[in-house]
Amino acid sequence: MKFPGCSEHAAISRRTLLGAAGAAGVATSLVFAEPGHAEGGYTGDTLVVVSLRGGFDGLSAIAPIGDTDYYRARPTIALPKSQVIAGDGTFGLHPALAPLLPLWKAGQLAAVHAVGQGNPTRSHFAAMDAMENAAPGTSIRSGWLDRMLGVTGATAPLAGVSMGHAMPARLFAGPTPAVSMAAIDKFTLAGESDKRPIAAALRTMYADAPILQAGPALAAGKALTASASMRSATYQAANGAAYPAGDLGAALRDVARLIKARSGLVTAAVDSGDWDMHNALGTAAKGQRMFDNLTDLAAGLAAFAADLGPEAMKSVTVLTISEFGRRVAENASHGADHGHGNAMLLLGGGIKGGKVYANWPGLSPAALLDGDLAATTDYRSVIGEILQKRCGFGSLDQVFPGVKPSTFGLATLRS
């Protein structure tokens, strides 16, 4: 299918316009596309995508403790069976994921293992670009979250939001309106004041301009208006939720604010970096890189779920993606180099959790793909099952061309 506005010419034009918008005074926001028309009637789950940048080591987080080759390949960094906090004898959760254990036991958290992209690459840039475009072998240049928004028809000013400092713009590249902000409370125009009404000036300036030119400025104005009440109110997380310090906790906290404010949020993208552990990945102990990163991730997700509460979480699905996994064998620096197959986490009221889903290929030398865990499940098919069961989609072709949803049964059908 051809998506309007997705040619290289259009992409270049948008980037040029964004630069012009920044020069006009957009401080902590970037609008990725021109605004749409009417607000759609989307009634599915809010989808929160957490990108684990750098190459998440799924073999540490969701350890294949029942595979003896795992321990042969990782003599110093493999997770001992005695330290897993949940599992089924085949897989076990890393102890740093302890903040998520109540959600696992409640059946709201699951994992999918041996997932990945069809064409392995160990290049961060190429793999991230392919993962976020998610349409290999086609001429489509938009991001898959942009296409998802387009299918829902939801064009509220805050329907699609990239939240946090990293701003994964590629996911939202394309013609559907989406906004990026470092934080709700910092979402403003540089120099805006009662005496300098820059937002009003931009609306007047672009009032009669063609939509391709006026789009970024007008969409920024709408998003600023829609978030004004949140910026003017002090936010207190509910239900004793304690977000961890740092960018990830702050971003998840602001996504929860958008959901609780009934802002019309359909999907949000959040970044979590520093997963590129070529050295000192460490053992399962506090102070080790993998342990501390997983602790931060787990604490952030647990706080997010607690803040929203069980009722709101019935309409929210969180999933993690990463550009690739790590190699099966540890290296001489007690880390792991760029690999292929990986694990995803799924969290939400509609998730059939408390288990690891996998078409497990094994870690014997003959089962590996050039030294890597083979990806037996396309990550897009996992997301596709969520889109169909939790977001009300039919065919996936407009989002993931040629992809069929997974048949794991990892989510309930939203009524």
Q: What is the dihedral of CA 40, 261, 180, 145, to 10 degrees?
A: -40
> What does the pLDDT profile of the chain (415 residues) look like in tens digits?
322 332 222 232 233 233 333 333 333 333 333 333 335 689 999 999 999 999 999 999 999 999 999 999 999 999 999 999 998 999 999 999 999 999 999 999 999 999 999 988 999 999 999 999 999 999 999 999 999 999 999 978 999 999 997 655 689 999 888 888 999 998 877 667 677 777 777 777 877 777 666 666 667 777 888 888 898 889 999 999 999 999 999 999 999 999 999 999 999 999 999 999 999 999 999 999 999 999 999 999 999 999 999 999 999 999 999 999 999 999 999 999 999 999 999 999 999 999 999 999 999 999 999 999 999 999 999 999 999 999 999 999 999 999 999 999 999 999 8
**Cβ-contact 170, 132 below 8 angstroms:** yes
Q: Tell me the DSSP string of 26-56.
A: B-SEEE-S---SSPP---SPEEEEEEETTT-
Q: Which helix (H) or strand (E) holds 271?
A: strand 267-272
| 296/228 Cα distance (integer angstroms) | 30
pLDDT score at 7: 29
**Cβ-contact 82, 284 below 8 angstroms:** no
For the chain, the structural domain boundaries read: 40-186+243-390
Q: Tell me the DSSP string of 206-264.
A: TTTS-HHHHHHHHHHHHHHHHHHHHHTS----STT--PPSSHHHHHHHHHHHHHHTT--
pLDDT score at 166: 64
pLDDT score at 195: 73
The architecture in CATH of the region 40-186+243-390 reads: 3-Layer(aba) Sandwich (3.40)
Q: How far is CA 134 from CA 7, 66, 171, in A?
A: 16, 32, 9
Q: Tell me the DSSP string of 61-84.
A: HEE-TT-HHHHHH-TTTSPPGGG-
pLDDT score at 324: 98
| 375/369 Cα distance (integer angstroms) | 9
Distance from the Cα of residue 322 to its chain's centroid: 9
